[in-house]
Structures are given as C-alpha cells and as structure tokens.
Amino acid sequence: MAPHSSAETSQDIPKSPSSGPERAPGILGWLDFFLSEPLRNAPPADLIRHRVLVGAAWFMFMLAMLYVVIALFSPYTLAPGLVGVSYLATLVAARKSTRIEVPAVILLATLTVSFVGGAFANKTSFEGGVHALNLLIPAFAVYLLGPRRALLFTLLIAVVLDVIHPIYLTHHAGIPAESFQVSRFWIRHLFAGIAFLGIWGIGALHGTARDAAMKKLHDSEGKLSSIIESTDDIVVSTDTEGRLLAANSAMKLFFQKTLGMQPELGQSLFRYIHPERIQLWKDRFAQVLQGQRLRLEETYTLGDTRIVMDVSLHPILVAGGQVGGVTLFGRDITSRKEAEVRLGELHRTLVDVSRQAGMAEVATGVLHNVGNTLNSVNISTTLVTDQLRRSRVTGLTKATALLREHRADLATFITRDPQGQQLPPYLIAVSGQLAEERDTLLKEMQSLAQGVEHIKSIVTMQQKHARAAGAVEQVAVPQLIDEALRLHAVSFERLAIRIVRDYADVPLIFVDRHKLLQILINLLSNARHALVDSTQQDKCLTIHVHPAPGEERLLIDVTDNGVGIAPENMARLFSQGFTTKKTGHGFGLHISALAAEEMEGQLTCTSPGPGQGATFTLELPVKGEGVQEQVRP
C-alpha cells in the first residue's frame, strides 16, 4: 500500500504479515514449540504453568530414555523406561489440546502409576512411599490442576501408602514379619501419607492465595480494560521487545479496517509495519525505553481515504523505576485536520475580503476628497463660463466694426457723428472692465489649477501606496500620518474638525507602508464619523506619536471627543462584522487589528463611555535607526 507523506512524518499502512506467529527467543521459544496456539497465547501467569508442564514432561521423557539406554547394558529391566511413552504422549497432548487439563492429567497419572507400581514391584524395600521424590506429585498436581483436582491424586497416594501397600506387604507379598519391624513400618507409612496430605494442603493454600490475588488482579485489569475499551482512541501496550501485551477494541477496529485482520497478542508490533519504516519505529521505541515520551503525527492513506493519527508513546515503569514496556496511544484527528484546513481557507478568504474592504475604504476616502475638490473646480469653471458669457468683448467687437466702417473719415466720425463721439468714452470704459474681467478670470483659473493639482496629488499618493503594498520599507510615521490627513483634509475642513498634531521625536521604523496607511485611514475615518454624530461644538481630533516607555516600540494615539463607545461594545470592537454604524460593514477595525498583528504590533482602544470620546492606540515595534525631526503644524 502506498505511503502518504505529511508535513511532520509519514507512515505506510501496516501490511499483513506473511510469516507465521513469532516465537519467544531461547529456551522459552523451544518450550512454546510443544504448546498449541491457544496454550501459547494464554495470559502470562497461565503460560508459565504451560511451559513448566512441557519442561517437566520433556525432562521425565529424557530421563526415561536415559534409563532405557542404561538398562541395555545392565541387568536392570526395561519396564520402567517404557513410561517414557506416556511422557511423550503428554508432549503430544500439549501440542494438540486447547486446555491444560488433558496433558496435565496424562503427566500426573504417569507419575502416580510409576510411583504405585514401583512401590508394589519392589518387595525388598519397605519404604518406597517415604522417598522425597514422591512428594513432588501432590505439589505438582496442585500447581497444574488446582487444589480440588489434585486432592484426588493425593488421596489415592495416601490410601496406597497408609493402607494398601502395608497390607500387601504383610499379607500378600509373603514377607515374614520377623524380617522387619511392623510398627516402625506402619508409622513411617502413616507419616508419609500425612506428609503427602500436608504437601497438598500447603500447595492448596498457596494456590488459593495465588488465585485470590490473581482474581483481585484480574478484577483490577477488568476495570482498567473497561476504561480502555470505553475510549475511541487506540491503546496498545508492548513489552521491551515490542511484543503486543494488550490492544483495545479501537486498535482491533483500526487493524481490521487497514489490514483486514486482528492483531495477535504476543506478536511483535513491528511485523505489521512496512519494512522500510521498521527501523524508524525501532528507533522511536528505543528512545521511549530510555525514559523519553514522544508525540507525533502519522498520516495513512487507504485508497482514496486519508487518515491522520495523533500518536503518543510513553514508557511503562515497573519496580525500581525500570522501563518494562511501551504504551502507545493513537487518536484519529482527521476531522480536526480537515477543519483546520477549512478554517485556514476561511481565514485567507476573510483576509482577502477584509483587504478588499480596506482598499474600498481607501478608495472611498480618495473619491470623497476628489469629489470635494471637484466641487470647487466646478464652481470655478462655472464662474469662468458666466464671466466669459457676460464679457464686454462683444461690445468691443461692435465698436471696432464701426471704426472699420468709417476708416476713411475716421476723424470726422469721431468728432462730428453722435455715435462716433460716444466711441472713445466707451472704449475707455470697456478697457477698464476687461482688465477687471482678466483679473477675475486669472483668480478663478488659479483656483481651478489648485483644485486640479490637489486631485493629481491625491491620485499620485494613492498610486504610490498601492505600488508599495506588501513591501517593508523605512517609514517616517509623522509624515505618513500627514499624508493620511491630507486624504481627509477637505472633509475635516468642511465639518469644522480641529486637528491637533503632537509628534514627539521618534525613530524611523521598518513597516509595510500600505498596511500602516490603511490602519491610519481607518482610524481617521472612524474618528470623523464619531465626531460627525457627536453634539460637541468644538470637534477635535488629536494625534499623538511617542515612544513607549522603557521599550523599543512606538505608540500612535488617535483621540477624538466624539460619541464614545459603550462598555458592552468594547469586547467586540475588533471582531469581524461588528459595527454600530447603520451603513457600516464591520471590516475596518477588524482588518486594522489583523494588519497590526501582521506587523508584530497591536491595536487597542479605550473610552470613558458614551459621549466622552475614544482613543485608539496603535503599538508598533521599532526596527531601524535614525531619528526624524519633530514636525509641527
């Protein structure tokens, strides 16, 4: 299955193992070979008993075979060596059976029969029942089968020792009574039988105590397992070799979904990992086994499905503070990652919309000021047109036409003709009026030229800032503030808003000129609206530029005495879409706050309350050298 790479790490979907179950190393693996799969996959406490059973059967089989070899070269009979077949049957039963009782009964029955048969077959020894080796039978029976089932073997041996074997020797074996002391014989067998029962009792006591402890442990494990199973997160524990000790349902479901199979307890976790990544995971396990904790993201691809897992590896501490294994936790964070991607896309969309809104705000300010300037241009144009329409140039043209008609007798026309006599005073009067018209037209044309120049400067300044968008450059803050004020100059003059500039000697800073101008225009626009809606007679806007005390940061305070801000609106003031204006869009302050953060700064606001004005403070880092001269209005 193809891997899918992520930004952090990538992981192939584990592939199905092609080999059989892994075996424990060394002698334990050799013992496990004689166990069936159900017995080999039993809990650790039961697995110990299973291995002891196989080891004992194998030892007794080899001992029987050794006896057979010795008997071939000695006068001993081969009959005792034939019990080796029963020990071999025990090994075969352990390999085939799904429960320990079958091979355990075969082994214990073989030992019991060997003991009883040996006791009855030897007619020259009277103390076969007190041999220390025989005490292993009840202890071994308790260990393998439990106290109740082991009692049957123990009672059988006790009855044989205390009753059947003495009666057999004294009444049926033909041994004369004077050849041994009967009382001593009975006492020894009696105490041997009692010893067998005592060994059984001690074993039963140990087994009962162990079973109680195991029950308590199993109850605790059950509660822990219930907690682990109740979570949707993957929970896995392994030993120091990476073999699976426990896996919850979420892990099994993950394996089923990715591999089409269930994880096998006791098997190495590395066998399910892609071969190219086994060493990487072994290195991670090695770090955890040294006491470290790891957290990482793994990305899997299953067909067209992409799965992102948040994986944590923790060491399992045992007695003495040693690390006895590793616990792995996995959480499916695919939905969260997809939500983060969607959130990122929404954020970029919001930034784009906010930037467009900010550009629209700047464009609105430019058009507003250009429109105000065009009003004065239109007025000047109208005055010039009216003045030209009423001009005396027409009368002067008629006078010159009369002079042209009487050019031959011009002296007689001016001195004797009544119409000609009026012509010189008229020309004198017209020349004065034309001089006044010229002065008026020159004045209006100068005003018109100033308006056009102002429009040109506004457009040029906007084009300069538009070209500088996104570029970081060294900026003189007071100068940039004055440029922003010029964009609102006509509005402030028309609304009778008094501007107070308070610029301290501050260093040049490196910022995005366009972003800073956008913030300033938004703040000035908000201040203008606050002052327009206010009932204050003396509408005042104060701009204070000063360094932050004790820090390499610059503060720009924009203060108005307008309508102020209600306390309940302060918390949402910079939220996207929030506005108290009827025609507002709620983007101006939001994009300004975002732009301030992008410049590693901060935009805040304070207000005493409604009707008491507000102060917006823009804090920016100082990155650059040089101090500009103080600018005064």
Q: What's the CA gap between 451 and 489, in Å, rounded? A: 13
Most confident of 115-119, 253-257, 578-582: 253-257
pLDDT tens readout for residues 208-237: 656 666 677 777 777 877 877 788 888 888
Mean pLDDT across 399-403: 79
What's the mean pLDDT when you consider all of the chain? 76
121: which 2 tokens? 């077959």
Q: DSSP secondary structure string, 109-175?
A: HHHHHHHHHHHHH-SS-S-GGG-GGGGHHHHHHHHHH-HHHHHHHHHHHHHIIIIIHHHIIIIIS--
Q: What's the CA gap between 436 and 12, in Å, rounded? A: 93
Output the pLDDT for position 386. Answer: 78
Measure the N-to-C terminal CA separation of the chain; round to a whole number of Å.
Answer: 73
CB atoms within 10 A of CB 434: 14
Mean pLDDT across 236-253: 86
**pLDDT reading at 201 higher than 60:** yes
Output the pLDDT for position 448. Answer: 74
Output the pLDDT for position 157. Answer: 74
Q: Which of 224, 195, 47, 78 is nearest to 131 (CA)?
A: 195
Q: Indicate yes or no: pTM above 0.85.
A: no
Q: What's the CA gap between 55 and 499, in Å, rounded? A: 100
pLDDT tens readout for residues 495-534: 888 999 999 988 888 888 777 887 888 888 888 888 888 8
Q: Which residue has the higher pLDDT, 431 or 36?
A: 36
Output the pLDDT for position 210. Answer: 62
Output the pLDDT for position 13. Answer: 47
Domains and CATH numbers, the chain: 26-226 (no CATH), 243-332 (3.30.450.20), 339-463 (no CATH), 472-621 (3.30.565.10)
CB burial readout 59-89, b (16+ within 10 A) else e:
ebbeebeebeeeeeeeeeeeebbebbebbbb
Contact (Cβ atoms closer than 8 angstroms) between residue 313 and residue 294: yes
Q: What's the CA gap between 506 and 520, in Å, rounded? A: 17
**pLDDT reading at 559 higher than 90:** yes
498: which 2 tokens? 């008094």
For residue 307, give the H/E element and its range. strand 305-317
Q: What's the CA gap between 199 and 205, in Å, rounded? A: 10
Torsion angles phi and psi, residue 243, rounded to 5: -80, 140
The amino acid present at 633, given as its one-letter code, is: P
Contact (Cβ atoms closer than 8 angstroms) between residue 562 and residue 542: no
Contact (Cβ atoms closer than 8 angstroms) between residue 34 and residue 97: no
pLDDT tens readout for residues 64-91: 788 788 778 777 677 766 778 888 898 9
Q: Which residue has the higher pLDDT, 359 or 288?
A: 288
Torsion angles phi and psi, residue 390, rounded to 5: -95, 10
Contact (Cβ atoms closer than 8 angstroms) between residue 572 and residue 578: yes
**pLDDT reading at 295 higher than 50:** yes
pLDDT band at 198 (very low <50, low <70, confident <90, very high): low
Could you give the angle at the alpha carbon of 463 between the alpha carbons of 461 and 464, nearest 5°?
65
Q: Which residue has the higher pLDDT, 180 or 405?
A: 405
pLDDT tens readout for residues 601-615: 999 999 988 888 999
% of the chain residues with pLDDT over 70? 73
158 Cβ contact list (under 8 Å, min separation 6): 193, 194, 196, 197
Output the pLDDT for position 500. Answer: 92
Torsion angles phi and psi, residue 20, rounded to 5: -75, -175
% of the chain residues with pLDDT over 90? 7
Torsion angles phi and psi, residue 538, rounded to 5: -95, 90
Q: What's the CA gap between 128 and 262, in Å, rounded? A: 54
Q: DSSP secondary structure string, 354-414?
A: HHHHHHHHHHHHHHHHHHHHHHHHHHHHHHHHHHHHT-THHHHHHHHHHHHHTSTTHHHHH
**pLDDT reading at 24 higher than 60:** no
14 Cβ contact list (under 8 Å, min separation 6): 255, 258, 259, 272, 273, 274
Q: What's the CA gap between 273 and 268, in Å, rounded? A: 10
Mean pLDDT across 178-189: 53
Torsion angles phi and psi, residue 313, rounded to 5: -120, 125
**pLDDT reading at 617 higher than 90:** yes
